[in-house]
């Protein structure tokens, strides 16, 4: 039996509800990717984004790469145009 299944059985046995953490983890990553992309589009360097979000520079690079891939963006110019459409650069 997998670790998650054991956790689920134990939670239910205690009368608690068990929620699969995977959707919650994905939501955190999705929000982190969006915030990293927003800050990068605003001109911040990976090091500055990492410091602001309290994550590693490698995670920033991964968020940029995966975020741009999911959005179908290939270049920094594509990211900039996307940011303008989303209103990330105003105010």
pLDDT at 9 over 70: yes
Residues 6+ apart with CB under 8 A from 67: 33, 34, 36, 37
Q: At what angle do helices 21-41 and 46-53 cross, to 10 degrees?
A: 140
> What average pLDDT score do residues 49-72 get?
93
3-state secondary structure of 19: coil
> What average pLDDT score do residues 49-64 get?
93
Quote the pTM value: 0.69
The sign of the CA dihedral 63, 72, 79, 89 is: negative
pLDDT at 91 over 60: no
16-45 per-position pLDDT tens digit: 777 666 766 677 677 888 999 999 999 999
Each domain of the chain, given as residue ranges in start order, spans 3-86
Residues 6+ apart with CB under 8 A from 10: none
> What average pLDDT score do residues 51-77 get?
93
Any idea which fold 3-86 has? Arc Repressor Mutant, subunit A (1.10.10)
Confidence at residue 56, expressed as pLDDT on a 0 to 100 scale? 93
């Amino acid at each position: 039996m997998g670790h998650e299944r054991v956790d689920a059985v134990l939670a239910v046995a205690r009368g608690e509800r068990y929620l699969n953490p995977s959707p919650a983890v994905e939501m955190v990553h999705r929000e982190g990717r969006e915030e990293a992309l927003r800050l990068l589009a605003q001109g911040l360097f990976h090091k500055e984004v990492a410091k602001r979000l309290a994550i590693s520079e490698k995670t920033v690079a991964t968020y940029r790469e995966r975020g741009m891939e999911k959005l179908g963006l290939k270049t920094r110019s594509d990211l900039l145009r996307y940011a303008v459409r989303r209103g990330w650069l105003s105010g």
